[in-house]
């Protein structure tokens, strides 16, 4: 089980910053706590490729009056399709998303386009070296070493690693 608070601490959230949760899903596990921490002067983008996920979140956003959350439909593997200005996102969050991607390089290209030069990327994904229920589903997917190597091609370097659960790895990257 992921500890959301541990992940949020590593995002280093501040009032007024912009955050993009890429592959946000339909529950808003991270969107709502991030929204509260960045406040009304901040902006939170929930981005997902599945429209039903975004539809499920719309009602929750209205109920919780989280006016600083904007939902965007998009494919993070497709460069420049998210209609966000370049280098304007202070924090990018990817949780349990990379193992679903075909092209790690394409995802990192999109992130490098969006991320502010002083911004941070926080990645949490399944550790392919640890056996668990989903081992067969993630075994052939992107490893933490793959992430580090591909990120370097886009100017990103590993700043810190952390342990978000016994089944996941956590990596903080920046320029």
Instruction: Break the chain into its structural domains and give their ranges.
Output: 4-174
Name the more confident of 78 and 132: 78
CATH of domain 4-174: 3.40.50.150
The residue with tokens 């990257």 is: 173
Q: How many whole angstroms separate alpha carbon 173 and alpha carbon 155?
A: 10
Burial-class residue 132 by CB neighbours within 10 Å (0-12, 13-18, 19+): middle
113 three-class SS = helix
- 82 in Cβ contact with 47 (< 8 Å): yes
Count CB atoms within 10 A of the CB of residue 121. Answer: 28
The residue with tokens 């100017």 is: 155
Q: What per-residue confidence (pLDDT) applies to 99?
A: 80
Tens digit of each residue's pLDDT (9 = 90 or more) over 111-140? 999 999 999 999 999 887 776 665 555 555
């Amino acid at each position: 089980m992921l500890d959301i608070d541990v992940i949020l601490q590593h995002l280093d959230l501040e009032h007024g910053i912009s955050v993009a949760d890429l592959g946000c899903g339909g529950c808003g596990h991270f969107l709502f706590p991030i929204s509260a921490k960045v406040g009304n002067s901040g902006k939170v983008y929930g981005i997902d490729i599945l429209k039903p996920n975004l539809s499920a979140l719309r009602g929750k956003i209205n109920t919780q009056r989280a006016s600083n959350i904007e939902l965007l439909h998009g494919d993070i593997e497709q460069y420049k399709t998210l209609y966000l200005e370049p280098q304007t996102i202070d924090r990018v969050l990817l949780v349990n998303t990379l193992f679903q991607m075909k092209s790690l390089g394409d995802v990192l290209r999109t992130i490098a386009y969006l991320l502010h030069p002083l911004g941070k990327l926080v990645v949490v994904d399944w550790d392919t070296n640890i056996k668990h229920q989903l081992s067969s589903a993630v075994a052939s997917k992107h490893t933490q070493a793959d992430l580090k190597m591909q990120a370097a091609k886009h100017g990103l370097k590993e700043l810190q690693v952390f342990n978000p659960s016994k089944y996941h790895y956590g990596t903080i990257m920046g320029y």
